[in-house]
Amino acid sequence: MTDHDDELGEFLRSEVPEPGADYWSNIDSMLDGVESQREEIVTNVQTDDNVIRLTDMTVTQTPPVTHPQNRSARLLVAAALVVVVGFGMVFAINRSQTTVPLETTNDGAPPASTPAPGEDVDSTSTTEAQGDAISTGRTCYSDGTVVITIDVADNGSFTGWQVPVGFAAGIGDTQDTELHLAPNGGLLLTLAGIPDPDSSAGLYRVSESSVAAFRNGFSSISTSQWSITSELLTQAGQVDEARFPAIDCGDSSDDLTILESTPVYYPPDFAFQAPTISQIDTMPGQNRVCYTLGENSGIFIFDFTDDGALANALMMNPFQTISATKTFDSETTYSVATLNLGDRENGRDTITTVLWEIDSERIAVSDGEEFPAIDCATVADQVAQADDFLGEAPYPAYPVGS
Amino acid sequence: MSPVENAVPTDARSFGAFIRAHDRQLRGVAWAVVRDQNQTDDVMQAAYEKAFRGLSTFDGKSAMSTWLHSIVYRTALDYVRYEGRRRHEDVEELRNFSGGGDTVSGSGLGRAELEAVMEQLDPRDRAAMMLIAGWGYSYDEAADILGEARGTVASRIGRARRRMERWGQ
């Protein structure tokens, strides 16, 4: 280093502002809070006296959807949605300490049913329903798209539940968590419910262990507060409160039990691919539609087959990759799983699932956000601009089936 | 790498002590990217939370501080990226900037003018400058933190220096 460099270095160092007055107190509080959460979860999950293990892991056929609350940049539409059926903040903590192995046996409870595809649930009941604490037996809840089933034993404790998780792309290893395919190609979660000591009215803290451990190995725990009564399941701690009114569990469904013995297999050499622009130009798919999230904010590329099925889904952004699966009852609505790569550095990734309506003009997300279609011929230029901003990070993508 | 440097804090207290010891340098990276005091604080808190929650993922292959730098850098970059905080100053406005005060040698620019040039740099170039020129990291160390090839980091430094020289003319 020369003297000039020394002076430049001095200038750079002198520029760094001192932290604000509450900087360290905020950080200390945050660290204490994280530590308390971790200790509490680990203690509760590992102590039989305190834990009600929820082991009835099956899945419904209804594809998941979250209701995005896009508060910041458009690119975070998916990330602002909550992983796993839109529930809970993601708290990535030590998998070995917190992951509850998925148990595939059903505790003898009758399998649950699902509403017919597209069946609506009376949403008006969500605003007033409170109800009593749930009694024994099975209670089913739905917001019209997601069905949650709760089994309660005679002593009032949970014996099982089921939540659909519709990740279209099942990727990862299964070191600690046994993963299972959902009917729509998604994965299941392990769940554990811990009664809240401050509540006697059915308030539970629910931890949801993550679904996928990608090749570089990660696992995360989503923790959320659920209030569960006979008429309403409410999930708080979210950007918005999610409310699931009770529905008729209906008759049993054989589809649910099939999944319990269907593990997810991952090719040993699986890796996200990093296509170049030239590769993208030659991706299969005759009917390509491109969308933009805005300047330097990423580009979506969808390839459709002649019969309208989705052949490829790609997000031109180094932080995210996506896959999309057509919903059961619509030609233009897709359940889109987004893998957020932004946290790769500290070893974890995040998957979010959203519902998008896709046509030749725009993508419409369920919260009303829209992304306009662009001329695919301009994609290369826009990618170059994004690349100039974002650096040389790869653009992960992988094909998905229709 | 000293034993202390490589020690992995395991609880809030030891982690807090560790980040206090390294905060100044870490803040430098966040500042280089976001260029706003309040946002720097926000980025740091978010990065520390990420790091603390992800302590188990630290593999010890690099120094703890290097790992933290990387998290801070990525968090700051994500912040700029997602919050649309990239600056788009008009080049002509900058060209007409009338800086004053002392000259920072090595750049040929006045301090205020140099600050304006820094604002104009790509956030990643600024981070590279901060690491190498500000904190004395090697190119290899900076490459690890920035997650880029050594040559890319060198290009960033070269580009930043050229911008300074250009505006100094």
Is B32 exposed, middle or buried (CB count within 10 Å of its CB: 0-12, 13-18, 19+)?
buried
Of B67, B81, B77, B27, the C-alpha closest to A23 is B27
Q: How far is A40 from chain B (nearest CA, A)?
A: 14
pLDDT at B109: 63
Of B64, B61, B50, the C-alpha closest to B22 is B64
Cβ distance A106 to A260 under 8 Å? Answer: yes
A52-54 and A203-209 beta bridge pairing = unpaired
Question: Residues 6 or more apart from B27 whose CB is under 8 A from it?
Answer: A16, A17, A19, B40, B44
pLDDT greater than 60 at residue B103: no
How far are the Cα atoms of A7, B127, B130, B134, B138 from residue A1, in angstroms, in the given order? 10, 18, 14, 11, 11
Residue of B41, B111, B147 lying closest to A19 (CB–CB): B41
Cβ distance B146 to B153 under 8 Å? Answer: yes
Q: Label residue B154 left, alpha or beta by phi (over 0 means left) and psi (-120 to 50 means alpha).
A: alpha
Q: How far is A89 from chain B (nearest CA, A)?
A: 13
Of B80, B73, B58, the C-alpha closest to B148 is B73
Residue B124: list chain A partners with CB under 8 A.
Answer: 391
pLDDT greater than 80 at residue B121: yes
* Separation CA B31–CA B39 (nearest Å): 8
Sorted by where each starts, the structural domains of chain B and their CATH numbers stand as 3-168 (1.20.140.160)
Structure tokens given for A130 = 């409170």
ipTM of the complex: 0.80
Question: Residues 6 or more apart from A351 whose CB is under 8 A from it?
Answer: A83, A167, A211, A212, A337, A338, A339, A340
Q: How big is chain B by its Cα radius of gyration, in Å?
A: 17
Is A230 exposed, middle or buried (CB count within 10 Å of its CB: 0-12, 13-18, 19+)?
middle
Establish how many alpha carbons lie within 13 A of residue B76's alpha carbon, considering only the half-sphere containing its beta carbon. Answer: 30
Say if the Cβ atoms of B106 and A27 lie within 8 Å. Answer: no
Give CA angle at B141 (B139, B142), nearest 5°: 65
Strand partners, A288: A303
3-state secondary structure (DSSP) of residue A244: strand
* Separation CA A116–CA A131 (nearest Å): 25
Strand partners, A325: A335
Residue B122: list chain A partners with CB under 8 A.
Answer: 389
Of A300, A275, A313, the C-alpha closest to A396 is A275
pLDDT at A322: 63
pLDDT at B19: 92
Cβ distance A397 to A99 under 8 Å? Answer: no
* Separation CA B3–CA A375 (nearest Å): 56
Question: Residues 6 or more apart from A112 whose CB is under 8 A from it?
Answer: A58, A60, A138, A140, A147, A149, A162, A249, A252, A253, A256
- pLDDT-derived band at B54 (thresholds 50, 70, 90) equals confident
How far are the Cα atoms of A85, A187, A335, B40, B44 from residue A184, in angstroms, in the given order? 14, 9, 10, 42, 40
Q: For a pLDDT cut of 70, what percent of chain B falls above it? A: 75
Is the Cβ of A13 closer than 8 Å to some Cβ of chain B? yes
Question: Residues 6 or more apart from A172 whose CB is under 8 A from it?
Answer: A179, A211, A212, A213, A214, A215, A264, A266
Average pLDDT over every residue of B120-135: 88
Structure tokens given for A378 = 């301009």
pLDDT greater than 60 at residue B130: yes
Residue B51: list chain A partners with CB under 8 A.
Answer: 346
Say if the Cβ atoms of B28 and A1 lie within 8 Å. Answer: no
Is A384 exposed, middle or buried (CB count within 10 Å of its CB: 0-12, 13-18, 19+)?
exposed
A232-236 and A52-54 beta bridge pairing = unpaired
Which residue would you say has higher pLDDT here, B4 or A260? B4
Structure tokens given for A110 = 């009758």
* Separation CA B102–CA B88 (nearest Å): 26
Q: How far is A15 from chain B (nearest CA, A)?
A: 8
Q: For a pLDDT cut of 90, what percent of chain B falls above it? A: 14
Of A391, A173, A390, A383, the C-alpha closest to A268 is A173
* Separation CA A315–CA A337 (nearest Å): 11
- Residues present in chain B in total: 169
pLDDT at A38: 67
How far are the Cα atoms of A300, A335, A358, B7, B82 from residue A76, in angstroms, in the given order? 13, 16, 18, 35, 7
Say if the Cβ atoms of B54 and A296 lie within 8 Å. Answer: no
Residue A334 parent element (H or E): strand A333-340
pLDDT at A86: 27
* Separation CA A357–CA A287 (nearest Å): 17
* Separation CA B107–CA A8 (nearest Å): 7
* Separation CA A359–CA A289 (nearest Å): 8
Of B145, B104, B59, B157, the C-alpha closest to A15 is B104
pLDDT in tens, B144-158: 888 777 777 787 788
| pLDDT tens digits in sequence order for chain A, 402 residues long | 455 567 788 888 888 999 998 899 989 988 888 888 766 544 443 333 332 222 222 222 222 222 222 222 222 222 222 222 222 222 222 222 222 222 222 222 222 222 222 232 222 222 222 344 445 567 777 655 455 666 665 545 555 555 443 222 222 222 222 333 332 223 333 344 444 444 444 555 554 433 332 222 223 334 455 666 777 777 654 344 567 777 777 643 323 222 222 222 223 333 333 333 333 344 444 567 788 766 555 677 777 666 666 666 666 654 555 666 665 555 566 666 555 544 433 333 455 556 777 777 777 776 567 788 888 777 766 655 544 444 433 333 323 222
Interface of A with B in 211-250 (CB under 8 A): 218
pLDDT at B49: 86
pLDDT at B124: 84
Q: In what order do the strands lie in the sheet with A333-340?
A: A320-326, A333-340, A350-358, A362-365, A370-374, A287-292, A299-304, A310-315, A398-399
Q: Label residue A156 left, alpha or beta by phi (over 0 means left) and psi (-120 to 50 means alpha).
A: left
pLDDT at A325: 61
Interface of A with B in 289-318 (CB under 8 A): 296
pLDDT at A18: 92
